[in-house]
Every structure is written in structure tokens, then in C-alpha cells.
Amino acid sequence: MMDLKDLYRDVILDHNRNPRNFGPLPAASASADGFNPLCGDRLKLHLRLVDDRIEDIRFEGQGCAISTASASLMTESVKGRTRAEALTVFERVHHLLTDDAAEAGDELGKLAALSGVREFPARVKCASLCWHTLVAALKDDAAPAPPAVSTE
């Protein structure tokens, strides 16, 4: 029988092998760079916000399996959410990663898989990199964005 740890590991492996929302986002209204010197993970996050809602989000960069899987899971999770909702998810995930007693509620969905990282304290920064980068990108968009220009 598959236990929760196997399930979590499978989610991480799946999102590392097939990252969702990976690539450039030409019509981005905000972006931010993240770097985790402990591991060498590099991440560039692009957002397109429309009426305070994350209409689209994509990421680029190169990092370890955990940083890639976390970024993939994050983009899936916050796409379609408002800025405030995304920040709430960030706080829940941050709590999940840093507090051993924290339990992933149902509302976190697949993000619960990130709790497996707590067993490897050195990797917590790999998992949290994309989330801190998300917060930076949301701040970057605090100024009204110019109208998107089609590159096609």
C-alpha cells in the first residue's frame, strides 16, 4: 500500500520531470528573480496580473528537483487567484515548510507534498525560493502595469 510519503515523493518527481507553466511569458506585467546560493537554484518568475488576479504565471531557470517541483506546484496553485489569495497560500506554505507541527489542510491540495521537505532542513530553501520570488514579483507589480503589447 502506498503511504503518504510515497505519494508526496511521486508528486515532487512528477513535477520535476514535467514542470507545469515552464517557459517565458511575453505579456508579463511583473517579474522577479530568485537565487538560492546554498544550492545554486536560479529562478525567474513572470506574472500577468489583470484586475489584481494572476491571470497567467510562468517560470524559467534551473535548479534542483525540489526547487523545480515547488515552482511548478506553486504556479499551478496560484494561477487564477487574486494577489491577496496568493499571499495567503504563501503564508500557509511557509508555515508548512518551517513548522514541524504544521499540517497541510485540504485547501493546500498537492502543495501538501512540500511538507516532505521538512525531513531535509538543508532543502527547505530550495522549496521556499519560488514562494519568496512570488512575493517579490507581486510587489514589482504594485505600480500600474502598461497595457500588454502583443509580440505576435
Residues in contact with Zn ion by the rule CB under 5 A: 39, 41, 64, 67, 126
User: In the bound complex, what is the minimum distance in angstroms from residue 82's beta carbon to Zn ion?
Assistant: 29
By C-beta, is 28 or 61 nearer to Zn ion?
61
Contacts of 32 (CB under 8 A, 6+ apart): 44, 45, 133, 134, 136, 137, 140
Burial 17-53 (b: 16+ CB within 10 A, else e): eebbbeeebeebbbbbebebeebebebbbbbbbeeee
Distances (CA, A) of 150 to 7, 26, 44, 147: 41, 8, 21, 10
Backbone torsions φ then ψ of 29, nearest 5 degrees: -105, -10
Backbone torsions φ then ψ of 136, nearest 5 degrees: -65, -40
By C-beta, is 12 or 111 nearer to Zn ion?
12
By C-beta, is 49 or 69 nearer to Zn ion?
69
By C-beta, is 71 or 78 nearer to Zn ion?
71
Q: Which amino acid is at 100?
A: D
User: In the bound complex, what is the minimum distance in angstroms from residue 69's beta carbon to Zn ion?
Assistant: 10
By C-beta, is 21 or 70 nearer to Zn ion?
70
User: In the bound complex, what is the minimum distance in angstroms from residue 149's beta carbon to Zn ion?
Assistant: 35
User: In the bound complex, what is the minimum distance in angstroms from residue 151's beta carbon to Zn ion?
Assistant: 32
User: In the bound complex, what is the minimum distance in angstroms from residue 121's beta carbon to Zn ion?
Assistant: 13
